[in-house]
Amino acid sequence: MIALDFPEINSILRWKDIFPGFNKIALIAVLAVVISTLIFLLAVRQDHKEAPRGIRNFAETIVEFIENGVVMQTMGKDGLAWTPFLLTMFMFIYLCNVPGIIPFFQMPATARMAVPLFLALMVWVIYNVTGIKHQGVGGYFKSTLFPPGVPKALYILVTPIEFISAIIVRPFSLAVRLFANMMAGHILLVTFALLSEALFQAKDKVLIPVGILPFFMLIFLTSFEVLVAFLQAYIFAMLTAVYIGGATHPEH
């Protein structure tokens, strides 16, 4: 009987503290803030009279992507003032996602529920406060809980559903979507990496060639996770813009 040794599942989901209260997840989050800040600080230092090049060209490309691909698609010109916030959200999430495929880190910070949950709750507070600011307390909750065009008799069913959906479920669905996708990708990568290692190091030489199959799968999934890291950051930023736009202009 062939036996392959694998580490406990807990060892791939938890990290020991680098020092008390600070582990790899916290380190990734700090690096995400530092790297994104440096990108734009270095871009600003370049002479604006010259044609964009290097880091400034890269920074302007990201800004234009958020403006055209997120803000204009969901909020229109009135939402351009939200570009810095949505840009920050996108950059932070993306830089927290990418370490899942980087040696030493090998874990996206967003695969720990605390990170996406904090971001989702922050978004929840922002779009609710924005809605109240633009519509007033009564107007905001009226447009949220009593959507126009619905027969009055159906409000007895629609209003509780809208309350649960918009007020309670929305932030958790936003957090779980990001968390679940990044955690699933992390577990798949670790699974195929461990399987490849176990087969390549198996005492039975017959198993060594078999290890090529999970190894190629590992390469494919690693490439795929690069795309997933970008998509999840984009989707989070897009939904954030949709929620803020809907709270600001309920008729849209």
Name the residue type at position 129: V
CB atoms within 10 A of CB 79: 20
> First CA to last CA across the chain, in angstroms?
64
pLDDT, tens digit, 9 for 90 and up, residues 41-80: 888 887 666 666 678 888 889 999 999 999 999 888 888 9
Q: Residue-wise pLDDT tens for the chain (252 aa)?
A: 445 555 555 555 566 667 777 888 888 999 999 999 999 888 888 766 666 667 888 888 999 999 999 999 988 888 899 999 999 999 999 999 998 888 777 788 998 889 999 999 999 999 999 999 988 888 888 888 887 777 888 888 888 888 888 888 898 999 999 999 998 888 888 788 777 777 777 666 666 676 678 788 888 888 888 899 999 999 999 999 999 998 887 665
pLDDT, tens digit, 9 for 90 and up, residues 104-118: 777 889 988 899 999
